[in-house]
């Protein structure tokens, strides 16, 4: 190990010294002058299912591999028989104000923790017999074709290595070339951090068979940390196949490695599969045969040439990626630096807007690489994880993180990448109906709590059958994820206008989530309002008379999610002309939902009562759900609530964890304060050194490979920030398309092409001197368009008129009325008034409309 480390250090040092002469590359590349020696320097590839982190080593190349169906454990519903009695007890205590006792009793409701997302294997290429230094080292990840490349010169030979993972062909392909004949010598091998064995496979191939643990502990003090069954027992089996092909020279397959000598070109294909056979089946007893799947994929890939695989991969990827282009005039000289140095230099010269557009497109790249139709939804690390015990299990944390992962799907024109989340919801609805019945005695609809996994776990986590002092009802007591997820279905419909989706997929799920919540609500005997009890404001605590409590009733977030969902369901049922009685019930309950409150400081009240603390800097600000991603709080329709939300944001401060700051970018964008959004956004470009201890790292920031730092790495910050930058440039939730609603003053000149807005519109915007210079709106389906701009504009192709009345386009309809009580005597903080011009014009299906200033 030490020898290996010394070797890496030696190679890195010699590379750093000799790497001055390689030309810089375009702005859509992450590129470096040295190989990665730590995971957060390696570059991610993926096709939704298979993920690889490419290290780019010279003597030793490592591809750290994942399969997004490889998790610990097996289906484990973890529901609590006798739950309804526990619930009644908790409710009684809470209505009596006995929050402490309620918290203790709630713990009986907690089921097991989620399963862990696991690393699959490593592919190793031992490239040289001697540790000779190289020169002209260069590696990159090119976002225009999703190919990772390594170039270097050694002993006068120029080597090139390319790697990609193909979605259409379900294969990872690596090609090594040299500019001189017979120059490539290497050994190929496979290992895993899990239980595994390697054998020869056919002609010049390797086969790694692996087994995932049936249990990975969640707490350090648990006796057994990683528990394996035998090969035929419980736990997911997996397989990795490698095939090595060479032109020139010779290939010799061994038992556990393959040796190539004196080749001109080497091509490696890798396929992988697991026994995962659905969320409700044992991956051991009832698992699929991973060998059959990996073999079939390998045979199909082998029948294609590398060049064909490569060009099919590129066209598949570009079909999605090329929909959006983004440019901001960049005056910074740092644009020519390697990406890690560029990031380090950002704080000193924050004018490097090209780094921001690169980061933006990297967010879209990650979504395409990690979430494709047919794959699992992205987890806390997308699909990339190197730990058997990853932070927070690399699971689905559903009280913000999983939702944030999908905030960019619609507006950055990657609608089909949203699909895995919808597929997952179908599974959650099955398990969640059982949890609703067993835990709460609710026989209609489905529920999800704050963690889930590949087994579509829906019960509250926290440790079953034993008391875990680290398990907190402030996170476990939160049955709201089904409701929140369901708002994604409605958003997908608003962006696409896809009625078949609304009818067949969305509405049944949305209705089920609403049914559960309808039964979950109880009448507060004191106020007569419908409230949630028990309730938390995710992970935060309320302080009542100097004492902190975890569980109470009617948190603003609960009520906001329910209000948003009921509104969506009512609109969906009207659109489909179904369920009139059910919508009548929703309408009457909605009228008596516990409303928003503006508290004593002029803040948006987080809790049932005005217990908010100005010095509370908790990373979660879930009570602002109505401002974003919800649409209940807007500057134009509820300016007082918007002011209260702004006050809450000011109290909490800007600096927090990566995802929390990403959420704040979106909130400030919704408050049309581009400069404040921007100042938080620029904090995302704090260089985080992955070699430092987590405790000494700052709040939020970015690793050398542009992965977001919570810290540690968590992918939600990447996705949430890309979504937030989009929200700064285009919004469509207030009843119209608003161009440049929160353009920061430093982004003086720029252009973004191909964003999507509600109403099934595609929008391109250019600006100069901070003012709109031109926009083009493409109407995919046609229909009325309402447009808001900060300066008067005209439409070149058709007549437009000043907007008036209700727009005849339901996809663009605003939220509606938002009830609230204002209990402060203080003056509210000032918010940006909605100024500008609003016009209506008619669009035809497939029509293109040019907007120019008057
Ligand atoms: C929630 C957050 C943490 C972290 C974890 C995965 O618990 O509060 O910050 O993101 O999820």
Average pLDDT, integer, range 147-153:
96
User: Is the CB–ligand 1 distance for residue 622 below 6 Å?
Assistant: no
Tokens of 355: 């780094």
Asked whether the predicted pLDDT for residue 129 surpasses 70, the reply is no
Residue 23 pLDDT > 50, yes or no?
no
What integer pLDDT is reported at residue 7 of this predicted model?
A: 35
Ligand 1, atom 1, residue with closest C-alpha: 397
Whole-number pLDDT of residue 15: 37
Tokens read off for 757: 């807005």
Say what the pLDDT of residue 287 is. Answer: 98
Strand partners, 52: 45, 65
Any idea which of 101-110, 464-473, 569-578, 736-745 has the lowest mean pLDDT?
A: 464-473
Task: Please tell me if the CB atom of residue 275 comes closer than 6 angstroms to any atom of ligand 1.
Answer: no
Give 696's pLDDT tier (boundaries 50, 70, 90).
Answer: low
Q: pLDDT at residue 1 above 50?
A: no
Please report the pLDDT score of residue 330 as a whole number: 86
Cα separation of 287 and 275, whole Å? 5
* Range 226-241 average pLDDT: 97
pLDDT at 548 over 90: yes
Give the distance (Å) from ligand 1 centre to CA of residue 454. Answer: 18
- For the chain, give the mean pLDDT: 94
Give the Cα-Cα-Cα angle 390, 393, 396 (nearest 5 degrees): 135
Q: What is the pLDDT of residue 130?
A: 53
pLDDT value for 13 = 36
Q: Do 562 and 629 meet the contact criterion of CB atoms below 8 Å apart?
A: no
Q: What pLDDT shows up at residue 2?
A: 37
DSSP 8-class letter at 466 = S
Please, are residues 726 and 758 in contact by the beta-carbon 8 Å criterion? Answer: no
- Around Cβ 245, how many Cβ atoms within 10 Å? 18
Our answer on whether the CB atom of 80 is closer than 6 Å to any ligand 1 atom is: no
Hey, whose CA ends up nearest to atom 10 of ligand 1? 401
Q: Is a pLDDT exceeding 60 seen at residue 6? A: no
Does residue 539 line the site of ligand 1, with CB under 6 A?
A: yes
Q: DSSP 3-state helix, strand, coil percentages of the chain (rounded to 5)?
A: 30, 25, 45
* Residues above pLDDT 90, as percent of the chain: 91
Residue 527 has pLDDT above 80, yes or no: yes
Burial 643-682 (b: 16+ CB within 10 A, else e): bbbbbbbebbebbbbbbbbbbbbbbbbbbbbbebbbbbbb
**Ligand 1 atom closest to Cα of 380?**
6
Reported as a pLDDT band with limits 50, 70 and 90, residue 467 is: low
Distance (angstroms) between ligand 1 centre and the Cα of 46 equals 24
Which of 403, 404, 714 maximizes ligand 1 atoms within 8 Å of its Cβ, making it the mutation to test the pocket? Answer: 714
Site to probe by mutation for ligand 1, drawn from 379, 481, 539 as the one with most ligand atoms within 8 Å of Cβ, is 539
Instruction: Give me the percent of the chain exceeding a pLDDT of 70.
Output: 95
CA distance 127 to 244: 14
Ligand 1, residue 660: give the atom nearest the CA.
Answer: 9
pLDDT at position 469:
73
**Are 67 and 294 spatial neighbours (Cβ–Cβ below 8 Å)?**
no
pLDDT, mean of residues 537-561 = 96
* pTM check: above 0.75: yes
Q: Is 401 in the pocket of ligand 1 (CB under 6 A)?
A: yes
Beta carbon of 472 within 6 Å of any ligand 1 atom: no
Q: Is the dihedral of CA 374, 377, 382, 384 positive or negative?
A: negative
Tell me the mean pLDDT in the region 318-333.
94
For residue 840, the SS3 value is strand
33 lines ligand 1 (CB under 6 A): no
Q: Give SS3 for 175.
A: strand
Average pLDDT over residues 87-92: 98
- The verdict on the CB of residue 714 being under 6 Å from ligand 1 is yes
Distance 652 CA to ligand 1 centre (A): 17
pLDDT tens digits for 613-625?
999 999 999 999 9
Task: Map 616-649 to HEC letters.
Answer: CCCCCCHHHCCCCCCCCCCCCCCHHHHHHHHHHH
Ligand 1 binding pocket includes 397 (Cβ within 6 Å): yes
Quick one: average pLDDT of 51-66?
97
- Reduced 3-state DSSP string for 323-384: CCEEEECCCCHHHHCCHHHHHHHHCCCCCCHHHHHHHHHHHHHHHHHHCCCCCCCCECCECC
Instruction: Tell me the per-residue pLDDT of 155-194, one tens digit each, with 9 for 90 and over.
Output: 899 999 999 999 999 999 999 999 999 999 999 999 999 9
Give the lowest-confidence range in 117-131, 290-304, 570-584, 788-802: 117-131
Residue range 136-160: average pLDDT?
A: 96
Instruction: Tell me, using a 6 A CB cutoff, whether residue 660 lines ligand 1.
Output: no
């Amino acid at each position: 190990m030490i020898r290996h480390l010394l070797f890496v250090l030696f190679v890195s040092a010699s590379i750093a010294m000799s790497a001055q002469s390689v030309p810089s590359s375009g702005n859509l590349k992450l590129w470096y002058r040295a190989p990665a020696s730590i995971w957060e320097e390696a570059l991610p590839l993926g096709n939704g299912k298979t993920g690889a982190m490419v290290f780019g080593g010279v003597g030793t190349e490592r591809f750290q591999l994942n399969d997004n169906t490889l998790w610990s454990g097996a289906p484990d519903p973890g529901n609590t028989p006798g739950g309804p009695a526990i619930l009644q007890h908790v409710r009684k205590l809470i209505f009596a104000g006995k929050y402490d006792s309620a918290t203790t009793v709630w713990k009986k409701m907690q089921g097991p923790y989620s399963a862990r997302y696991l690393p699959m294997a490593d592919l190793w290429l031992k490239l040289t017999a001697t540790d000779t230094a190289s020169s002209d080292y260069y590696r990159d990840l090119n976002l225009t074709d999703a190919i990772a490349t390594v170039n270097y010169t050694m002993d006068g030979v120029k080597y090139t290595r390319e790697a990609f993972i193909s979605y259409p062909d379900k294969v990872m392909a690596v090609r090594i070339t040299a500019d001189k004949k017979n120059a490539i010598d290497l050994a190929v091998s496979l290992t895993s951090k899990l239980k595994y064995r390697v054998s020869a496979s056919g002609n010049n191939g390797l086969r790694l068979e692996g087994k995932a643990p049936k249990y990975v502990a969640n707490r350090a003090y648990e006796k057994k940390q990683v528990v394996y069954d035998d090969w035929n027992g419980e736990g997911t089996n997996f397989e990795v196949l490698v095939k090595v092909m060479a032109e020139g020279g010779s290939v010799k397959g061994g038992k556990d490695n393959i040796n190539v000598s004196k080749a001109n070109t080497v091509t490696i294909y890798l396929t992988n599969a697991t026994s995962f056979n659905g969320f409700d089946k044992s991956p051991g007893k009832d698992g699929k045969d991973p060998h059959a799947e990996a073999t079939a994929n390998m045979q199909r890939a082998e029948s294609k040439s590398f060049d064909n695989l490569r060009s099919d991969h590129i066209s598949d990827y570009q079909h999605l990626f090329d929909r959006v282009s983004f440019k901001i005039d960049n005056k910074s000289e740092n644009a020519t630096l390697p990406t890690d140095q560029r990031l380090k230099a950002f704080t000193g010269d924050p004018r490097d807007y090209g780094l921001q557009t690169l980061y933006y497109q990297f967010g879209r790249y990650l979504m395409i690489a990690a979430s494709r139709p047919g794959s699992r939804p992205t987890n806390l690390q997308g699909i990339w994880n190197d730990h058997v015990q990853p932070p927070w299990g690399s699971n689905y944390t559903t009280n913000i993180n999983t939702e944030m992962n999908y905030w960019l799907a619609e507006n950055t024109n990657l609608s089909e990448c949203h699909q895995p989340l919808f597929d997952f919801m179908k599974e959650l609805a099955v398990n969640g109906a059982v949890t609703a019945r067993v835990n709460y005695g609710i026989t209609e609809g489905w529920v999800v709590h704050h963690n889930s996994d590949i087994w579509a776990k829906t019960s509250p986590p926290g440790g079953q059958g034993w008391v875990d002092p680290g398990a907190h009802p402030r996170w476990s007591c939160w049955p709201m994820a089904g409701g929140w997820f369901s708002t994604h279905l409605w958003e997908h419909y608003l962006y696409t206008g896809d009625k078949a989706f609304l009818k067949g997929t969305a509405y049944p799920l949305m209705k089920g989530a609403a049914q559960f919540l309808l039964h979950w609500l109880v009448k507060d005997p004191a106020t007569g309002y419908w409230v949630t009890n028990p309730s938390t404001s995710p992970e935060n605590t309320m302080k009542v008379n100097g004492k902190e409590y975890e569980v109470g009733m009617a948190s603003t977030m609960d009520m906001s999610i329910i209000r948003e969902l009921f509104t969506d369901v009512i609109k969906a049922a009207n659109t489909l002309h179904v369920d009139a009685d059910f919508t009548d019930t929703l309408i009457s309950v909605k009228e008596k939902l516990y409303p928003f409150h503006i508290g004593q400081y002029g803040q948006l009240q987080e809790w049932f009562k005005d217990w908010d603390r100005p010095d509370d800097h908790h990373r979660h600000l879930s009570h602002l759900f109505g401002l974003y991603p919800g649409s209940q709080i807007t500057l134009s329709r509820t300016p007082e609530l918007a002011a209260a939300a702004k006050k809450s944001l000011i109290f909490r401060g800007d600096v927090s964890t990566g995802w929390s700051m990403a959420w704040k970018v979106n909130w400030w964008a919704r408050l049309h304060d581009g400069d404040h959004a921007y100042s938080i956004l620029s904090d995302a470009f704090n260089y985080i050194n992955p070699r430092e201890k987590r405790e000494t790292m700052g709040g939020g920031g970015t690793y050398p490979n542009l992965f977001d730092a919570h810290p540690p790495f968590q992918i939600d910050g990447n996705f949430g920030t890309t979504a937030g930058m989009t929200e700064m440039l285009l919004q469509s939730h207030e009843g119209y398309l608003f161009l440049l609603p929160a353009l920061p003053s430093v982004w003086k000149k720029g252009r973004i092409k191909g964003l999507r807005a509600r109403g099934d519109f595609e929008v391109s915007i250019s600006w100069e001197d901070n003012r709109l210079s031109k926009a083009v709106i493409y109407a995919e389906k046609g229909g009325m368009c309402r447009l808001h701009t900060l300066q008067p504009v005209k439409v070149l192709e058709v007549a437009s008129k000043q907007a008036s009345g209700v727009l005849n386009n339901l996809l663009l309809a605003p939220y509606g009325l938002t009830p609230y009580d204002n209990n402060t005597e203080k003056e509210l903080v000032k918010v940006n008034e909605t100024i500008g011009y609003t016009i209506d014009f008619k669009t035809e299906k497939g029509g293109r409309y040019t907007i120019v200033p008057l």
